[in-house]
Amino acid sequence: MNIKVEKSDPIKKKTKLVVYFVTEKSELPLGLPKLNQKLVDEIKKVVKETKAKLGAIAILHTHQLVEQERILIAGLGQKHKISHESLRITSGKIARKVSEIELEEYTIVVPNNLPVNSKSVINSIVEGARLSLYSFDRFKKEKKKIPNLTIISTNEKASELVSKANLASEGVIYARSLSNLPPNECNPVKLGEFAKSLSVKNRLKCTILSKSELKQKGFGGITAVGQGSKNEPKLIILEYNGKKDSKPIILVGKAVTFDTGGISLKPAEKMDEMKFDKCGGCTVLGIMKAVSELKLPVNLVGIIPSVENMPGGESYRPGDIIKLHDGKTAEILNTDAEGRLILYDALSYGIKTYKPKEIIDFATLTGACIVALGANVAGLVSNNKKIVEKITKSSQNTGEQVWQLPINDDYMDMIKSDYAEIRNTGPGRVAGTITAAAFLANAVGNTPWAHFDIAGTAWVQAGSKEKSYNPKGATGFGVRLMLDYLSSP
Ligand code: BES
Ligand code: MN
Ligand code: ZN
């Protein structure tokens, strides 16, 4: 999708379709130019009929009365309730409609007097359009037609805002495209190759540790989980330097390219969805891509432990005791609790190697998170108030919802082991998301840390709220949130 910005008078714009927004209780759309009375009457009628409800869309043909072949009236609901999120969803609905009727281009007139700042209006419109038109069609012959968009705005910085929103959206789309790949097309080796080619394009430093290097350097969690698959495990590290002489922020992402559960095999139902167990890692790759293209002034390290969790003669077993990267021993009680083992090694390695300012991880870690919060809110566990506050703010800006869960010594006690220092599951099912985080907390110690459990939000699944800009498959959850986070002081 190509998006361009114009400052022109909308009435002079030759276009297949022009969009005007309308809010409840107003007769006419915002910023509607002077039109032929017949058209104005038609528009009034449509506004009355749809009541300008949020998400309502109506198209009328102009029969050559003006240069614009069609007018699309888009309802925004009550004016005081307009938010970044409602604009993003509305823009997504419009884009889908335009694509459905197969127009090659359309125009949006951005109103000036909305109760959100005009910067975020443009951002939401671009994100909504781009993200809603994404579809995972690599393996289909027939591809959807993607229209181009002209944005008419009086904002001086409109072009710059559009290009920023474009880069952010491309980060999300990159994360989605990798996440959606089937497990036969994306194993740890392939994921490493994707990361490598990203690093070449975007001039990132890329290091990939092989199975033998991981063994030799003591990554006992990653090698244990990876040993059941003939697709060998990898640790992918990307470094971006946008700010001289400052401690980096580390992002860690779980990339289990397929999670069968291993010897503690999962039931068959919905096991196909476990290709999405690499979403955390793909989110980190999406962030690295966008941050380097936006040239954000930060130092960032992305660390992605990647394995395939398979049952077999070589697999690790319940009962095994392994040694993690920092030397701590862990008793395996369930081979399906594999994510925390690979994340532990990555967190420990990151902290030891880079002495980061803070470390933030993303993982489709627990089914318990979906039980607790549903499929529209990510779990957040942290040892640092300031990070949580900042994440909460960014989350409100981007519409990617999070909810903090507690952690304290009582939870830490729940993963103590009889035979090793810690064990990889808690007692029974209770507080599953927190006991998983407690396992990770052992690796981070006092380093400021936040953990996102994105099991429910990483892809559109049972219980996901339908949103125009989240089509079927992976959502890229976390990419926009972190870009907002990393752009704020
Ligand atoms: N990848 C899964 C978590 C998951 C399950 C995410 C379903 C999204 C949807 C993770 O590796 C896992 O299997 N966790 C176990 C932990 C348990 C064995 C302690 C779980 O949640 O059941
Ligand atoms: Mn698992
Ligand atoms: Zn998993």
DSSP secondary structure string, 318-387? TT-EEE-TTS-EEE-S-TT--HHHHHHHHHHHHHHHH--SEEEEEE---HHHHHHH-SSEEEEEES-HHH
> Which ligand places an atom closest to the C-alpha of 276?
1
Give the number of the atom of ligand 1 that is nearest the alpha carbon of residue 429.
19
What is the model's pLDDT at position 489? 86
- Judged by DSSP in three states, 485 sits in helix
- From residue 215, alpha-carbon distances to 193, 302, 348, 349 in Å are 21, 21, 15, 13
| Residue 339 CB less than 6 A away from ligand 1 | yes
325/327 Cα distance (integer angstroms) = 5
87/100 Cα distance (integer angstroms) = 20
| Residue 218 CB less than 6 A away from ligand 1 | no
445/470 Cα distance (integer angstroms) = 36
DSSP string over 383-414: S-HHHHHHHHHHHHHHT-EEEE----HHHHHT
Nearest CA owner, ligand 1 atom 3: 366
Q: Is 12 exposed, middle or buried (0-12, 13-18, 19+ CB in 10 A)?
A: exposed
Which residue in 176, 234, 278, 340 is the catalytic one?
340
161/312 Cα distance (integer angstroms) = 51
C-alpha of residue 486 to centroid of ligand 1, in Å: 29
What is the model's pLDDT at position 113? 85
Is the pTM here over 0.85, yes or no?
Answer: yes
| Residue 364 CB less than 6 A away from ligand 1 | yes
What is the model's pLDDT at position 119? 81
> Which ligand places an atom closest to the C-alpha of 306?
3
Which residue in 13, 144, 196, 266 is the catalytic one?
266
What is the model's pLDDT at position 117? 84
Token code pair at residue 397: 């800006």
Which residues on neighbouring strands pair with residue 20, listed in sequence order? 73
What is the model's pLDDT at position 41? 97
Nearest partner of 399 among 443, 457, 448, judged by Cα? 457
| DSSP 8-state assignment for residue 15 | B
C-alpha of residue 305 to centroid of ligand 1, in Å: 17
| Residue 361 CB less than 6 A away from ligand 1 | no
Instruction: Say whether 340 is catalytic.
Output: yes
C-alpha of residue 108 to centroid of ligand 1, in Å: 43
Angle 84-100/118-133 helices, nearest 10 degrees? 40
Regions of the chain where pLDDT drops below 70? none
What is the model's pLDDT at position 34? 92
Token code pair at residue 57: 């869309």
User: For residues 110, 467, 480 and 162, what is the CA-based torsion angle, rounded to 10 degrees?
Assistant: -20
Residue 129 contacts residue 94 (beta carbons within 8 Å) = yes
What is the model's pLDDT at position 81? 95
195/257 Cα distance (integer angstroms) = 14
365/71 Cα distance (integer angstroms) = 46
What is the model's pLDDT at position 245? 84
| Residue 335 CB less than 6 A away from ligand 1 | no
Q: Is 7 exposed, middle or buried (0-12, 13-18, 19+ CB in 10 A)?
A: exposed
What is the model's pLDDT at position 118? 80
What is the model's pLDDT at position 52? 96
Rg (CA), the chain: 24
> Which ligand places an atom closest to the C-alpha of 368?
1
C-alpha of residue 338 to centroid of ligand 3, in Å: 6
Instruction: Say whether 205 is catalytic.
Output: no
